[in-house]
Amino acid sequence: MYRILTASKDTYITNKVINNKFRATDANVGKAGTLDLFKLYAETTSGSDTSPTEISRVLIKFDLGPLKALTGTLLDFSHTSFKCTLRLTDVYGGQTTPSNFTLIAFPLSQSFDEGSGIDIVNFSDLDSCNFITASATTTSTNWFHTGANNQGLLGSDNLDIISSGNLGNGVVNIWKSQVFSDGAEDLSIDVTNIISGTLAGQIPDHGFRISYSGSQETDTKTRFVKRFSSRHATSVHNRPKLIVTYDDAVIDHHKSFFFNLTGSLFLNNSHRGQNANILSGTAAATVSGTNSIVLRLISGSYSGSFTGSQHKIGDNFITGVYSASFAVSEFETALRSEIVNAASATFTEIWGSTDSTVGYHTGSLVINSVNRTSFNNVPKRLFVNVTNVKSIYKFSEKVRFRVYAEDISRTVKAVKTPIDTPSEIFIKMYYQIRDADSNRVVIPFETKSNGTRLSTDSDGMYFDFYMDSLASGKTYIFDFLISDGGSDQVYTNIPAKFKLEK
**H or E, element range at 322:** strand 316-326
Across the chain, mean pLDDT equals 94
Pair 173, 311 in one domain? no
The three-state (H, E, C) secondary structure of 356-390, written as one string: CCCEEEEEEEEEECCCCCCCCCCCCCEEEEECCCC
Kindly report, residue by residue over 124-136, the tens digit of the pLDDT.
999 999 999 999 9
Pair 316, 167 in one domain? no
What Å distances lie between residue 501 and 107, 319, 393, 394, 489, CA to CA? 33, 31, 6, 5, 32
Pair 98, 186 in one domain? yes
Which residues constitute the domain of residue 396? 382-501
pLDDT computed for residue 45 by the predictor: 83
What mean pLDDT do residues 174-196 have?
97
Task: Count CB-CB contacts under 10 A for residue 483.
Answer: 14
pLDDT computed for residue 378 by the predictor: 67
Whether the upstream peptide bond of residue 84 has omega within 30° of 0, thus cis, is no
Q: Quickly count helices (H) and strands (E) in the chain.
A: 4, 37
Pair 275, 408 in one domain? no
Kindly report, residue by residue over 422-441, the tens digit of the pLDDT.
899 999 999 999 999 999 99
Q: Considering only CA atoms, which of 114, 96, 94 is closest in space to residue 30?
A: 114
What are the b/e assignments for 420-447, b being 16+ CB within 10 Å? eeebbbbbebbbbbbbeeeeeebbbbbe
Between CA 10 and CA 24 the distance in angstroms is 18
Pair 143, 210 in one domain? yes
pLDDT computed for residue 380 by the predictor: 79
pLDDT computed for residue 409 by the predictor: 73
pLDDT computed for residue 187 by the predictor: 98
What mean pLDDT do residues 76-98 have?
94
Q: Is the pLDDT of residue 299 over 90?
A: yes
241: confidence class by pLDDT, cuts 50, 70, 90: very high
pLDDT computed for residue 407 by the predictor: 87
What CATH code is carried by the domain that includes residue 432?
Answer: 2.60.40.1930
Pair 38, 141 in one domain? yes
The total number of residues shown for the chain amounts to 502
Pair 399, 310 in one domain? no
83: confidence class by pLDDT, cuts 50, 70, 90: very high
Does 250 fall in a domain? no
Does 175 fall in a domain? yes
Does 231 fall in a domain? yes
pLDDT computed for residue 419 by the predictor: 67
Q: Is the pLDDT of residue 295 over 70?
A: yes
- For 236, which DSSP code? G
What mean pLDDT do residues 97-105 have?
97
Evaluate whether 147 touches 55 at the Cβ level (below 8 Å).
yes
Does 257 fall in a domain? no
Pair 296, 320 in one domain? yes
Q: Name the percent of the chain lying above pLDDT 70.
A: 97
Evaluate whether 260 touches 495 at the Cβ level (below 8 Å).
no
Q: Considering only CA atoms, which of 22, 26, 13 is closest in space to residue 46?
A: 22
User: Among residues 245, 274, 303, which one ends one of the domains?
Assistant: 245
What Å distances lie between residue 49 and 43, 44, 45, 215, 235, CA to CA? 11, 9, 6, 20, 41
Evaluate whether 430 touches 404 at the Cβ level (below 8 Å).
no
Upper half-sphere CA count for residue 439 (Cβ side, 13 Å): 2
Evaluate whether 269 touches 319 at the Cβ level (below 8 Å).
no
Between CA 227 and CA 88 the distance in angstroms is 9
Q: Is the pLDDT of residue 375 over 70?
A: no
46: confidence class by pLDDT, cuts 50, 70, 90: confident
User: Among residues 341, 368, 395, which one ends one of the domains?
Assistant: 368
Does 467 fall in a domain? yes
* Cross-strand pairs, 348: 298, 364
Does 22 fall in a domain? yes
Does 417 fall in a domain? yes
Between CA 221 and CA 186 the distance in angstroms is 22
Pair 400, 433 in one domain? yes
pLDDT computed for residue 252 by the predictor: 97
Whether the upstream peptide bond of residue 386 has omega within 30° of 0, thus cis, is no
What mean pLDDT do residues 150-170 have?
96
228 vs 415: which has the higher pLDDT: 228
**H or E, element range at 68:** helix 65-70
Question: What is the number of domains present in the chain?
Answer: 3
Does 16 fall in a domain? yes
Q: Is the pLDDT of residue 377 over 80?
A: no
pLDDT computed for residue 484 by the predictor: 87
Q: Is the pLDDT of residue 414 over 70?
A: no
- The pairing of beta strand 497-501 with beta strand 392-394: parallel
- For 238, which DSSP code? G
Pair 47, 123 in one domain? yes
pLDDT computed for residue 434 by the predictor: 97
Q: Is the pLDDT of residue 237 over 90?
A: yes
User: Among residues 178, 211, 245, which one ends one of the domains?
Assistant: 245
Pair 346, 459 in one domain? no
Evaluate whether 10 touches 32 at the Cβ level (below 8 Å).
no
What mean pLDDT do residues 434-450 have?
96
Pair 109, 179 in one domain? yes
pLDDT computed for residue 125 by the predictor: 97
